[in-house]
Amino acid sequence: DAGITQSPRHKVTETGTPVTLRCHQTENHRYMYWYRQDPGHGLRLIHYSYGVKDTDKGEVSDGYSVSRSKTEDFLLTLESATSSQTSVYFCAISEMSGSLSDTQYFGPGTRLTVL
C-alpha cells in the first residue's frame, strides 16, 4: 500500500459522536486525498490537500472537515456522525497533480459504521 497507513481500520460509533480518521504516509508526497466508497457508487472525493495547511473540498464534503499540520498526516473529522456516513474511507496520495502520468496510491481503507 505504498507507505500509507490508515487508522483505525475499523470503527463502530453512534450517531452524533465525533470521529477522526487518520492517514499517515511515509512517501513525502505533496497531495493527499480522502475518498468514500459505497455500494453502487464509484469512489467519491471528500476533501484533498495540496500541501501543509492547504486543503480544498471535493464532491461530497458536507459533514466532513480535514486538517493537515504535517506533510505526512491528513486527518478526516466527522463532527457529528450520521448513519449516512457509514462507508469505507480511503486515503490516497500522489506526488503531483496535473501531470498526465500522475498516479494516486491508495491506503488500505477504514470501515466506519455509524449506528
Partner 1 sequence: KNQVEQSPQSLIILEGKNCTLQCNYTVSPFSNLRWYKQDTGRGPVSLTIMTFSENTKSNGRYTATLDADTKQSSLHITASQLSDSASYICVVSRSYNTDKLIFGTGTRLQVFP
Structural contact between residues 89 and 75, judged by C-beta atoms closer than 8 angstroms: no
How far is it, in rounded angstroms, from Cα 92 to Cα 57?
15
The binder of partner 1 chosen from 17, 56, 82, 115 (CB under 8 A): 56
- Which CB, 5 or 71, lies closer to partner 1? 5
CB of 74 to partner 1, least distance (A): 14
- 55 near partner 1 (CB under 8 A): no
How far is it, in rounded angstroms, from Cα 18 to Cα 5?
21
Burial-class residue 75 by CB neighbours within 10 Å (0-12, 13-18, 19+).
Answer: middle
CB of 64 to partner 1, least distance (A): 15
CB of 85 to partner 1, least distance (A): 19
The binder of partner 1 chosen from 76, 90, 112, 114 (CB under 8 A): 90
> Quick one: DSSP state of residue 84?
G
Which amino acid would we find at residue 102? Answer: D
Question: Which residues form the interface with partner 1 (CB under 8 A)?
Answer: 1, 4, 31, 33, 40-45, 48, 56, 58, 90, 92, 94, 97-109
